[in-house]
Structure 1
Amino acid sequence: MEERIKELQEKLNRYNHEYHVLDNPSVPDSEYDKLLHELIELEAQHPEHKSNTSPTVRVGGEVQSKFEKTAHDTPMLSLSNAFGSADLRSFDRRVREMVGEADYMCELKIDGLAVSLKYENGRFVQGTTRGDGTVGEDITVNLRTIRAIPLTIDSPLSFEVRGEAYMPKASFERLNAEREKNDEGLFQNPRNAAAGSLRQLDPKLASQRYLSIFLYSVNDLRELDASAQSEALDKLDQEGFKTNQERRLVGSIDEVIEYIEYWADRRKALDYDIDGIVIKVNDIRKQDTMGFTAKSPRWAIAYKFPAEEVVTDLLDIELTVGRTGVITPTAILSPVKVAGTTVSRASLHNHEMIEEKDIRINDRVVIRKAGDIIPEVLHPILEERKGQAVYEAPITCPVCNHETVKLEDEVAIRCINPSCPAQLVEGMIYFVSREAMNIDGLGEKVIRQLYDAGLIKDVSDIYGLTRDDLLPLERMGEKKVRNLLAAIEASKHNPLSRLLVGLGIRFIGSKASGQIAQEFGSMEAVMKQPEARFIEIPEIGEKIARSIVTYTSHPDFKRLVEKLSDFGVNMTEGASKPDSKTFGGMTFVLTGKLARLTRDEAKQMIENAGGNVTGSVSSNTDVVVAGEAAGSKLEKAQSLDVSVWSEDEFIEKLGQ
């Protein structure tokens, strides 16, 4: 039986390579499926003969609770960009000044998700996202489902190979067709779909998305005994990796530009998206001589294709008021397809830009996606204008009708009415957001519902909400109310830095809030400091210091902080602990996928309430909190008659 299992594993790995890398299958799909089904059954009967390089891992395994962070052996740096021939010739000039004449390897820039694959003795052992370039997320289980990634290679190499995981256009169209059929939201483009698929905690979902990959580098090319990028790619081909075959080795920058022009006209015919061309000095010794900046290699550059531009009608200009009072104009467009998605709204940035470009309602306009992501209006087509009136910037707020102002050093037009409903609501939405107080269940719709019902007028009112306030509201059942009140209660114990973010002090984001909270420790101390004291903190300049002092010295701010404090909201940087010992002395085990909390958040909540968390179930365990796809730990808890709570029950009991 062991021999048959090994025979099937080897056959299926070979068929995978033929189909997904060589694009030259030797057997029909029906034969492959029949053999795979046989292997799955045999491995289920004889699990001791299954390995993590078996083809059956391609169909997905156990659901993950989260992705662990992992450091790259060498940083995954980004590339500097070129946007025209002048940038390319400047790059070529720098290369020749440093290393003399050089050949260039030109490669298609795949629009996907950069990943790193680690092999030990020829076996794939770990795969990670790029992350911040130094630390990424371990998504090994999902990368194993990509059939173009070899799980084993013939040579016993130990190295890190890097590439771009992507979703072919055919897979993207099939996925969106299925989602539309199931009334699910559609992905905007293949890149977002690929990234979303690889970050699924359930690898079975990733396996159903039919992703692929192109490998383009090794963290140390000498591990392949290669002296040039072109040679390294050829050797990756020989080892069974999938590299992009449209690459071209050229001898001059003029040939680089010819290659770019060739693909600018033909890229739409590819079965995958590209957003540019990567140009690398081919010789490794010359790469070593040129070296790196802090962010990117000096020997490589990425040429970005110009964004696609299309023409449509500007039907109206919509005004929205943000939490700081800025009135933002947005173009309402006749729907049009741009860079693969349908666009009906586009940024107009600010009113000065509208005036400068002379954009008017009912104009024919040219739009594009900035960075292939955010739609923006470039300019009107003046020859098609038919007497439209000049657009005038608002002199009153579109929400509260208060007079608007334009500060001397800003392009923004603002409503400065502190009672403006739009600002109050937007401020409260920001206060409860994940970046700030992170109150689960209090999203934008619920905040607007509470405001419209007259239950909240500022953020402190959130902490005065009761069961009797909430139950009469639409779509507010008993269970939802209990969970919401528990989440509000839990947020009281956040550290000061989160509260500072949530209060929306202008120019103060999470980084500055963290620095200020660490420096002074309490809200009381923060409110006593002069501007000069804040400026002493690294990266806190005059503008931020002035904003902090202006806000914290205002009587309305002081009253708000006093109300929050009276409701028991923590005012110090150390996260406070509940006074009660709800779970005092109890031992918990967390298992399965939690929907509303991360494992770390649940663990912290248990410890704050006096309990402790262990990794395994025993007769000493008091409670198992079981999420989706809970496995053997749940079964053991049931066999030992240990109490099992759902996530909702856990949050409810914590609230009590």
Structure 2
Amino acid sequence: MQDPQLLSVEEAAILHKQLTAEIETHNAAYYQNDAPLITDAQYDELLQTLKALEKAHPELVSEQSPSQRVGAAPARGFGKVQHKVPMLSLDNAFNSEDLREFEGRVRRFLGLAPTEDVAFFAEPKIDGLSAALRYEKGEFVLGATRGDGREGEDITENLRTLKDLPTTLNPEGGSIPDVFEVRGEVYMPISDFQKLNEAQSLAGGKVFANPRNAAAGSLRQLDVSITATRNLRLFAYAWGDVSEVPGLTQAEVLQRFEAWGFSVNPLSKVCSNMEEAIDAYRKIEELRASLDYDIDGVVFKVNRLDWQERLGFVSRSPRWAIAHKFPAEKATTQVKAIEIQVGRTGALTPVARLNPVTVGGVVVSNATLHNEEEIERKDVRVGDTVVVQRAGDVIPQVVEVVLDKRPAKSTPFEFPKFCPVCGSHAVREKNPTTGKDDVVRRCTGGLVCSAQVVERLKHFVSRNAFDIDGLGAKQIELFFNRDLIRTPADIFRLEENDKNSLTRIRNFEGFGDKAVRNLFDAINDRRTIELDRFIYALGIRHIGQGNARLLARNYLTLQALLDAFEPGNPDVGKVYVDLLNIDGIGAAVADAVKEFFSEEQNRQLLNELIREIEILPFDVPDDDSPVSGKTVVFTGTLELMTRSEAKAKAENLGAKVSGSVSAKTDYLVAGAKAGSKLKKATELGVTTLTEQEWLDLIGG
């Protein structure tokens, strides 16, 4: 990737959008379908590229950018469970220096002296399926998958079949809190995985690619009796919603887990400093091949719980933990073809079709080549032998071309200049400031390109948007081709139109009376939707889930957005500035929002749609907080906590943290040596607080 510092705002925004879409696809494949499309190493590279881009262009960072969150929505077929405490993933370290930098971040956030040691709890990173286990008065009452981190699947009965999951906690293990949610990793021992595959093969059944897929597939059986026949195991390693934490350190709580009857990984240990932690990583890596379960790295957590609490979380991960993955595995294969896919924004994405190859026990046959520049940089051609790598389950990353095996008549791949779907010109727009081409080539067909219209509709009903059961990609394509759906509003008129149509849906292949009734019921169940999901469903350029939530949190209702960007609004300039002042919203996002909600055709589409559905106002978190919904600006040098800690605490209490003072600012918290922001706040009549007054206001 070109140095992100050299990219213009527009170029960075386009690249960010592309990376976001790609990472979202892989999140869904991994967490939702248990059928990953790329290696862990490939995924980590995409995420690191995105983080580098966001570091250079912080305006692109949003609450639920892929860098800030994890996972995908839960699969259908199980009831849904809201996690009271989000189940987050971990940031990754790729070498020892990354671990030392992690320690440095911890020290800076907490303001620790150089002489003060930070102890870390090191534990193997199990390659399985995360689960949350809720106990009330010591009895197991509910079990759920991670899902998208906020909402998972109810797999209580399946989890009850695990032989090492205690349905009642052992009271001799110490005091049991009234409510305690244990979190752990469900896995299948390698020896049992091999036996299962042998049995499946003999019976003509599904052969699993690896133990993780086998564990996930076994745990998510709708027929619990099938789950019971599989030897699934569980390592407990964390906790979520609890009425009391039984210990002062990570190690102490896990000791209590073991006393209550849970299995805790025996290789876990406390390291008195980071150098000991790095040594623990090396020792666990040496033992990896001898273990009867798959691990793909080591997790390091700050051992002291009071420090964990102070460090808190970013949207995607805790600040007090990090995972160090093991190196990737490699293999070689041949590129059979390079195909072009057209996305909902018109982006043309090249995909390499590979001769199937086994990498670390997994057969893979596809690889995303990202964009035109990526193909040119690596000079990937049809017929090439390529080195691929993986670090987990899934398709490989193309590392390099083996040039001495290139066919004599090989020719460079020519990226199409016309859309393969509609034939419209496909162009790389030039940035008006830099004159450079965008990295993405896009179809100019717009609404005449069926790929874009269909993909936009697919996005509208996707799991993180309207999540309409039974209305997936295949159904959207069918109804579009039958001219039943052209706009989102048509989805909610489908039942009415079907009654008046000579061609009834129940006559389509695969549809009977019950299937049609279930579809209409599922559509009607989604006539009410939260504002942030609705904004995300619209498919506005640069608006992923994070930015959608950020917009919802600041505008609260759709009508407020429509009013703000009403064509002819004399205050539209001020509205635009207010939008830019939202912490996390940059120029590219602001422009996209303004353009979408100002466009008359879009407003007509929205007016047509809102006649069919109800959009719930955004539910501001922590309504009991005195600063919930308030806009806060911090300035000067804080002495009682670090700036990062103060901002995190404010956001956890439901406040909106801004980087600039305006008439809409509710509080300015002024530390030592406050300057121009304090002066402006005074001029505007904004309430100013000392650091201690702020702490008194929020309760310490």
Q: Scaled by the length of structure 2, what TM-score is found?
A: 0.59
- SS of the residue corresponding to residue 456 of structure 2 reads helix
Q: Which residue of 2 aligns with 1:107?
A: 123
- SS of the residue corresponding to residue 536 of structure 1 reads helix
C-alpha spacing 1:396/1:130, structure 2 compared with 1 (3 Å)? closer
CA distance in 1, matches of 2:284, 2:598: 59
C-alpha spacing 1:99/1:110, structure 2 compared with 1 (3 Å)? farther
C-alpha spacing 1:227/1:335, structure 2 compared with 1 (3 Å)? closer
Q: Which residue of 2 aligns with 1:607?
A: none
Q: Deviations over 1:50-84 (max 9, x none)?
A: xxxxxxxxxxxxxx973544535xx8775543211
Q: Which residue of 1 aligns with 2:79?
A: 66
| 1:406 equivalenced with 2:422 (yes/no) | no
CA distance in 1, matches of 2:265, 2:605: 59
**8 Å Cα contact 1:523/1:572 also seen in 2:** no
Within the candidate set 500, 505, 509, 2:540 is matched to 505
| 1:469 equivalenced with 2:503 (yes/no) | yes
Higher relative contact order (CA 8 A, sep 6+): 2
CA distance in 2, matches of 1:300, 1:494: 34
Q: Deviations over 1:573-619 (max 9, x none)?
A: 359xxxxxxxxxxxxxxxxxxxxxxxxxxxxxxxxxxxxxxxxxxxx
Q: Which residue of 2 aligns with 1:433?
A: 462
The aligned runs of 1:160-239 (5 Å cut-off) are 160=180, 162-173=183-194, 189-195=210-216, 197-198=218-219, 203-216=224-237, 229=251
Tell me which amino acid in the other structure corresponds to 1:310.
A
- What is the Cα deviation at residue 399 of structure 1? 1.5
Within the candidate set 412, 429, 453, 1:424 is matched to 453
C-alpha spacing 1:158/1:325, structure 2 compared with 1 (3 Å)? same
Q: Which residue of 2 aligns with 1:82?
A: 93
Q: Which residue of 2 aligns with 1:158?
A: 176
CA distance in 1, matches of 2:302, 2:616: 51
| 1:444 equivalenced with 2:463 (yes/no) | no
Identity score, percent? 39
- SS of the residue corresponding to residue 243 of structure 1 reads coil
Q: Deviations over 1:304-325 (max 9, x none)?
A: 1123222211111110111110
The aligned runs of 1:189-588 (5 Å cut-off) are 189-195=210-216, 197-198=218-219, 203-216=224-237, 229=251, 240-247=261-268, 256-279=277-300, 288=306, 292-295=310-313, 301-369=322-390, 375-387=396-408, 388-409=410-431, 410-418=438-446, 419-454=448-483, 456-459=485-488, 463=493, 464-465=497-498, 466-471=500-505, 473-481=508-516, 483-484=518-519, 501-509=536-544, 511-512=548-549, 514=552, 518-520=557-559, 528=567, 530=572, 532-533=574-575, 536-537=578-579, 538=582, 540-554=585-599, 556-557=601-602, 560=605, 564=608, 569-570=611-612, 573=615
Tell me which amino acid in the other structure corresponds to 2:462.
S
CA distance in 1, matches of 2:220, 2:384: 42
**8 Å Cα contact 1:531/1:549 also seen in 2:** no
- SS of the residue corresponding to residue 336 of structure 1 reads strand
- What is the Cα deviation at residue 369 of structure 1? 3.9
Tell me which amino acid in the other structure corresponds to 1:335.
P
- SS of the residue corresponding to residue 591 of structure 2 reads helix
C-alpha spacing 1:290/1:523, structure 2 compared with 1 (3 Å)? closer
**8 Å Cα contact 1:130/1:136 also seen in 2:** yes
C-alpha spacing 1:436/1:107, structure 2 compared with 1 (3 Å)? closer
C-alpha spacing 1:156/1:183, structure 2 compared with 1 (3 Å)? same
**8 Å Cα contact 1:122/1:157 also seen in 2:** no
C-alpha spacing 1:321/1:228, structure 2 compared with 1 (3 Å)? closer
Question: How many residues get paired?
Answer: 502
**8 Å Cα contact 2:342/2:421 also seen in 1:** yes
CA distance in 1, matches of 2:536, 2:249: 51
CA distance in 2, matches of 1:517, 1:248: 46
Segments of structure 1 that go 5 or more residues without pairing to the other structure are 1-63, 576-656
Q: Deviations over 1:222-256 (max 9, x none)?
A: 98789883x77667656654222334666775665
Tell me which amino acid in the other structure corresponds to 2:503.
D
- What is the Cα deviation at residue 553 of structure 1? 4.8
- SS of the residue corresponding to residue 573 of structure 1 reads strand
**8 Å Cα contact 1:69/1:138 also seen in 2:** no
- SS of the residue corresponding to residue 173 of structure 2 reads coil
Within the candidate set 147, 156, 161, 2:163 is matched to 147
CA distance in 2, matches of 1:479, 1:290: 51
C-alpha spacing 1:238/1:374, structure 2 compared with 1 (3 Å)? same
Tell me which amino acid in the other structure corresponds to 1:507.
H
**8 Å Cα contact 1:71/1:135 also seen in 2:** no
Tell me which amino acid in the other structure corresponds to 2:297.
G
**8 Å Cα contact 1:319/1:327 also seen in 2:** yes
CA distance in 2, matches of 1:485, 1:119: 37
Superposition CA RMSD, Å: 4.5
Tell me which amino acid in the other structure corresponds to 1:413.
R
Tell me which amino acid in the other structure corresponds to 1:145.
T
* Greater CA drift, 545-554 or 93-102: 93-102
* Greater CA drift, 244-253 or 420-429: 244-253
- What is the Cα deviation at residue 442 of structure 1? 3.3
**8 Å Cα contact 1:83/1:303 also seen in 2:** yes
C-alpha spacing 1:533/1:194, structure 2 compared with 1 (3 Å)? farther
CA distance in 2, matches of 1:525, 1:413: 33
Tell me which amino acid in the other structure corresponds to 2:455.
E
Tell me which amino acid in the other structure corresponds to 2:612.
N
- SS of the residue corresponding to residue 164 of structure 1 reads strand
CA distance in 2, matches of 1:459, 1:173: 47
Tell me which amino acid in the other structure corresponds to 2:97.
A
- What is the Cα deviation at residue 500 of structure 1? 5.0
- What is the Cα deviation at residue 445 of structure 1? 2.1
Tell me which amino acid in the other structure corresponds to 1:446.
Q
* Greater CA drift, 117-126 or 163-172: 117-126
Segments of structure 2 that go 5 or more residues without pairing to the other structure are 1-76, 432-437, 618-700
CA distance in 1, matches of 2:541, 2:488: 17
* Greater CA drift, 310-319 or 448-457: 448-457
- What is the Cα deviation at residue 326 of structure 1? 0.4
